A and B are shown apart, each in its own frame.
Chain A
Amino acid sequence: MSIEVIKPGLASSIQDKGRQGYYHLGIPPSGGMDQRSLVAANLLLGNPEGSAVIECALMGPELRFTDTHKVAACGAEMLPRVDGEPQPLNEVFEVPAGAALSFDFVKAGARLYLAIEGGIDVPERLGSRSTYALGSLGGLQGRTLQPGDTLGVLPAHGLATTGRRLPENLVPAFYKRYELRVIPGLYAHRLEPDSAERFYHEDWTVASEADRIGYRMKGGTKLDFIKREPPFGAGDDPSNIVDACYPIGSIQVPSGSEPIILHRDAVSGGGYAMIGTVISADMDTVGQIQPHQKVRFVQVTLEQAMDARARYQHVLEQLRNMP
């Protein structure tokens, strides 16, 4: 029951729903950046929705299956191939024993989630199989996949049906530019008023450094923070604060020049003012934005954010009840 990694892709890692409850100790949640696609791939196969899968960023891996497995690939558009033969996305298909599974260039989106019937078998660490590469924790030896790795698979439950497909209305759409909804705060008052306004009215380009830790943005006008005497414990730069906790999704702007959206492998705290937080319902979207694509930040209220969250939960509910 194993899968051999021939080529690992760029930054493929084992992820599940993440490791909750340790962020206050400096250990971030990790887990699939696009939870909706991760859950969809698992549910298609009849797996528990949080089973460990392979998250493939920007380029798919090439894998050799020693045994026959049913699999499902959801998320970014990278056409799967079994020994060269095209296979559908968002649909259960079988990879026969001895066959190689590979993927075409990514056409849209950034991360594909490859689920295997039963789920990837790596040890749970602090209640999760997710990889936190920066902290060498979880996944396969705490790192991204490498050539020659062997992945174990948990026993198949026999519930997966070849050809079972995601209903069309639950297939996510990917674009070249995105709007991300943001609740201003906790340190938005530290911005000069015109900077606080302008931040929401300019295009920002995702930098090539964007990864699981954070999405760095370039191309907008430098933001000015209000000058002040640094309080005890804060750095000299006006963008510095006395160290504080960083929420996942929070946007910090070191020196005011390049905003960074923290994602699931983020550090848990530090001394940069956060000018807002991307709402939880849009964090999956962040994980599907390719470097060099454009983003516009849209200010919303807490009520709008809660409404968006309820709608996001409804989509997950639809996935759980799909035929």
Chain B
Amino acid sequence: MTTQQIQAPFPGVFYRQASPDDPVYVKEGQQVNPGDVIGLIEVMKQFVELKAEAAGTLKSFTAENESVLEAGDVIATLEVSE
């Protein structure tokens, strides 16, 4: 098993769900595929989807919902499937 850290590609506010009433995109321990949306980052009046780049299990989130991120901050750890 290799793990991959998913980093913020730019600074902004991180959201785990599309809106406060929606369920989270991904729960910890959940299986993800490349292209699956993990969360949103809001900046400059845009909401940009953060997508998984590999298949695997999303082990844990380091960034909390609605937290302020700098570019390169670790958002989550993915356990990549072999």
Contacts and interface: CB of A to CB of B under 8 A. Distances in A.
Interface of A: 10-11, 57-59, 105-107, 208-211, 290-292
Contact of B44 (A105, A106, A107, A291): A291
Contacts of A291: 11-12, 43-44
Interface string B4-45: 000111111100000000000000000000000000001111
Interface residues of B, number: 17
Contacts of A211: 44-45
B24 to A, nearest CB: 20
Contacts of A290: 11, 70
A209 B47 CA distance: 11
Nearest to A57: B44
B72 A105 contact: yes
A83 B11 CA distance: 25
A313 B21 CA distance: 53
Given A10-B46, A58-B44, A291-B44, 7 more contacts: A10-B10, A57-B44, A59-B10, A105-B10, A105-B71, A208-B43, A292-B11
Interface of B: 7-13, 42-46, 48, 68, 70-72
Contact of B48 (A10, A106, A107, A210): A10
A292 B41 CA distance: 13
Closest 3 CB pairs of A and B: A105-B71, A59-B10, A58-B10
B12 A106 contact: no
Contacts of A11: 44, 46
B44 to A, nearest CB: 4
B39 to A, nearest CB: 15
A210 B43 CA distance: 8
A209 B43 CA distance: 6
A292 B45 contact: no
